Amino acid sequence: MPRPKILLTRRWPSAVETVLSERFDATFNLEDLPMSTDAIADALRAYDAVLPTVSDKLPASVFAGGAIRTRILGNFGVGYNHIDIAAAKAQGIAVTNTPGVLTDCTADIAMLLLLSVARRGGEGERQIRAGEWKGWCPTHMIGTKVSGKTVGIIGFGRIGKAFAQRCHFGFGMDVVFYNRSTVDPAEAARYGARQLSTVEDVLTAADFVSLHCPGGAENRHLMNTARFSAMKPGAYLINTARGDVVDEAALIAALERGVIRGAGLDVYEAEPHVPDRLRALENVVLLPHLGSATEETRNAMGMKVVDNITDFFDGREPPDRVA
């Protein structure tokens, strides 16, 4: 029996590509350039499995028109709001993701952003590289103390909990959070955290607000003009979740007008585009979607996909099926 024919939309860690080439008839995107929606639509008609990443776009249009060959989308990433799940299901296509393995590294990046924006690390490095530092003085580049402050977390899943643990036990921070469902108080206490009733309750209490909720229609622009106004004037926003959770135009206005003090961002509304006005701001730390970018985590994510599509083609239920 011929091996299933699969396509990777981008280059993956070499160790994972090796395993995929051994188990499947694998085609790799050797140029490692983003595929257009037309190219992805063509791939759905030519391959038994397509393995997209969170930067690919699979709207309903790519599934339209029939003649679909693909039976499974093995997504490289936890989030899958870039895939029209209803359209995929209508074509009988299974969808899997890669939960769990990137929890610690994404929480680490959120902590990096919080520390960097609070202590003006990005500004300081730019000043050094530009040869503009005049030496130490008592009033130079004063930031905000982190230890003992209140951090508010929106979304208390795996990553939200890991971030809470770092904040509370690493920096003695008071942790409050909003979660769509109720979390057992004893479970929340394991992370030094307590649940509040609304997003607004968290925003008014927190010195730092960190987003750890899913993207997609339900949470699109969860952080908007009204909610930035609800934050403390000296507060900071951290986003390692999804770009569409934040109304980017409203965030830029809030930063320019001093409604909030700063932001640390790893994700953006229209990646890889980052607005000029956002890049021009000194009170923002900007990272290029590095949340899961460690060798260990990216390999583990890839092997999650390998396990999912292997089980699928062997007639077993994929462990990380979302549709």
The verdict on whether 31 is a catalytic residue reads no
Annotated catalytic residue: which of 82, 120, 212, 242? 242
Q: Are 178 and 199 spatial neighbours (Cβ–Cβ below 8 Å)?
A: yes
Tokens representing 277 are: 């006005």
218 in catalytic set: no
In angstroms, how far is CA 269 from the centroid of its own chain? Answer: 11
Residue with tokens 């208390």: 156
| 177 φ/ψ angles, rounded to the nearest 5 degrees | -150, 155
Residues whose CB is less than 8 angstroms from the CB of residue 131 and which lie 6 or more positions away in sequence, other chains included: none
- Single-letter code of the amino acid located at 143: G
What count of Cα atoms within 13 Å lies in the side-chain half-sphere of residue 255? 23
Structure tokens that stand for 276 in this block: 């000029």
| Cα-Cα-Cα-Cα dihedral sign, residues 303, 308, 311, 316 | positive
Alpha helix segments (H runs only) across 179-293: 185-189, 199-205, 225-230, 248-256, 276-279
Is 289 assigned a catalytic role?
A: yes
If 0-12 CB within 10 Å is exposed, 13-18 middle and 19+ buried, where does residue 129 land? exposed
Residues contacting 79, CB < 8 A, separation 6+: 54, 97, 214, 215, 242
Active-site option among 11, 168, 289, 321: 289
Residue 114: name the closest of 84, 144, 69 by CA. 144
Given 71, 200, 221, 271, the catalytic residue: 271
Q: Any idea which residues carry the catalytic annotation?
A: 242, 271, 289
